Amino acid sequence: MAYIVSFLNQKGGVGKTTTAVNTASQLHADGESVLLVDLDPQGSATDWSAAQTDENTFPVIQMGKNLVRDLRRVATGFDWVIIDGAPQVAEMAAIAMKASDVVLIPCQPSPFDVWACGDLVDVIKVRQEVTDGKPKAAFVVSMAIKNTRLSSEVKDALAEYDLPVFDAGTTRSVVYAETAKNGGSVVGLSKDHPAAVEIRTLVKELRGFMNE
């Protein structure tokens, strides 16, 4: 059975799709079979997939309210299912949680973004209480600006929600958008490129989190 990981945040513009597609790309590059599920009505991950020119890639499909029922059928044979959740749609977030083993919450280092996570955290904790702690959940700091005080303080602020905060995260870099416009990812850059290292480190931490 596939590991199912959802990237959720009810606030838009936090790097959710960027983190999801790059995570899926790294898992694929590691030799895993990956399915990326686009749960966002805007279809950003689907558009990203349509822009691809490389045939050696992984499938991206759009799904909706029947995710829990239909995923059992379509996920057969995959090692990982990565779900790119919909912003501002509480119902869809709850559906994704129900299907997931892990929920990762990308959050920018901004007080407004930290405050906006409260409702989602509440929903996750309610779900965990009735399902013996499933799904596991953690924050991922996304689009941080290097060497700024706010970026270093955000982990302490997020820790007040009493959920783990990944050490790994992403920084604000135009290279994420530049690679995405042609359906690519930073995984295709040189191995020592800072963005490629970020995603590789994130996936390594995700693997460890899954197995804790």
pTM of the model: 0.93
Asked whether residue 151 carries a pLDDT value surpassing 80, the answer given is no
Strand ranges, E, within the chain: 3-7, 34-38, 60-62, 80-84, 102-107, 136-141
What is the arithmetic mean of pLDDT over 14-40?
Answer: 95
- Report the pLDDT value the prediction gives residue 73, as an integer from 0 to 100: 87
Q: Which pLDDT band, with edges at 50, 70 and 90, does 159 fall under? A: confident
Q: Which pLDDT band, with edges at 50, 70 and 90, does 32 fall under? A: very high
How far apart, in whole angstroms, are the C-alpha atoms of residue 103 and residue 9? 10
Domain span at residue 91 reads 3-210
- Report the pLDDT value the prediction gives residue 19, as an integer from 0 to 100: 96
How far apart, in whole angstroms, are the C-alpha atoms of residue 206 and residue 211? 9
Task: Encode pLDDT of 34-57 as tens digits.
Answer: 999 999 888 999 999 998 877 668
CATH code where residue 197 lies: 3.40.50.300
What is the arithmetic mean of pLDDT over 120-143?
Answer: 93
Asked whether residue 150 carries a pLDDT value surpassing 70, the answer given is no
The tally of domains found in the chain comes to 1
